[in-house]
Amino acid sequence: MIITKQKPNLLKYVENYDRIFIIGCGECATVCKTGGEEQVEALSKILGDRVIGKIVIESPCNVKFLKKDLKPSLYEGAKAILALCCGIGAQTIAEFTNKEIIAGLDTLFMGEVGMKGKFYEKCRACGLCILYETGGICPISRCAKKLLNGPCGGMVDEKCEVSNYSKDCAWVLIYKRLKKLGRESELEKIREARDWSTISQPGEITLGD
């Protein structure tokens, strides 16, 4: 899931627009309560008659859904589109509509949806997954220094220096998990310098290639 948060100064961004069309997201932003029906409704109330229309698209990051549900007649008269979805959705909408886009959310991370409204970052889309070697715990996203040979000297009593010792050190988690799985030998191996070229350029793939 893509985890988002509403921009704290969201209203400032739309200050100068009088005809606004609001688009929400039926998937991730709904779960995060940042761009679902409720939030679209609430913002629309605040902006009052400056809003010319609104819609929640099933997933605005998917062109197929935009084609199906986002008819030009809906947003044609808008000066700007306020996108309550992640940065991917906002860009897809911008390209699709050719309108001025205001991204109303900050896209935070890809995360697990935990209980009680908690979200945890779990992957950075590094392009070379090593979960198998690390007991199913991702050091790229969960170690603040994305170390492949941790833990670092910042680990104290199983916690990480970066969170002021409130969060678990990913490498202690990895160590414990590997031990439990009887795979200590993984801890004896040096994990070599990795190839970051996988994420140092814009990604693009074609199904079937």
Partner 1 sequence: MKRIFSDFMRALNNNSFVFTSEIEPKKTVNVEGIVNIAKKLKNYVIACNITDNPRAHAYMNSIIASYIIQKEAGMETICHMTVRDRNRLALISDILGAYVLGIRNILAITGDHTTMGDNPSALPVYDLDSTQFIKMVRRMIDEGVDLAGNKINGEIKMHIGAVGNPNANPLEPEIYKVRRKIMAGAEFIQTQIVFDLDKAKRFIEEINAPPPYVLIGIFPCNSYKMADFIDKKIPGISVPAEYKEELRRAEGFKDKINEVNIEYFSEMIKELRKTTRASGVHIMTIKYEDIVCKIIENVKSIMN
Interface residue list for ligand SF4 (CB under 6 A): 123-126, 129-131, 138, 140-141, 143-145, 147, 150-152, 154-155, 160-162, 169-171
Helix (H) or strand (E) holding 155: strand 155-156
The residues with which 83 forms a beta bridge, in sequence order, are 23, 103
Query: Within positions 160 to 199, which residues make up the interface with partner 1, using CB under 8 A?
Result: 161-162, 165, 171-172, 175, 187-193, 196
- Indicate the DSSP class of residue 15: T
Nearer Cβ to partner 1 (149/198): 149
Residues 26, 57 contacting (CB under 8 angstroms): yes
Nearer Cβ to ligand SF4 (55/152): 152
Binding mask 35-64 for partner 1 (x = CB under 8 A): ------------------------------
**Identified binder of partner 1 from the candidate list 154, 167, 168, 199, rule CB under 8 A:** 154
C-alpha neighbours within 13 Å on the C-beta side of residue 20: 27
Choose among 64, 94, 76: nearest CA to 21: 76
Residues 55, 69 contacting (CB under 8 angstroms): yes
- Least separation in angstroms between CB 171 and partner 1: 6
CA dist 106 and 10 (Å) reads: 10
Q: Using the rule CB under 8 A, is 155 a contact of partner 1?
A: yes
Residues at the contact surface with partner 1, assessed by CB under 8 A: 144-158, 161-162, 165, 171-172, 175, 187-193, 196
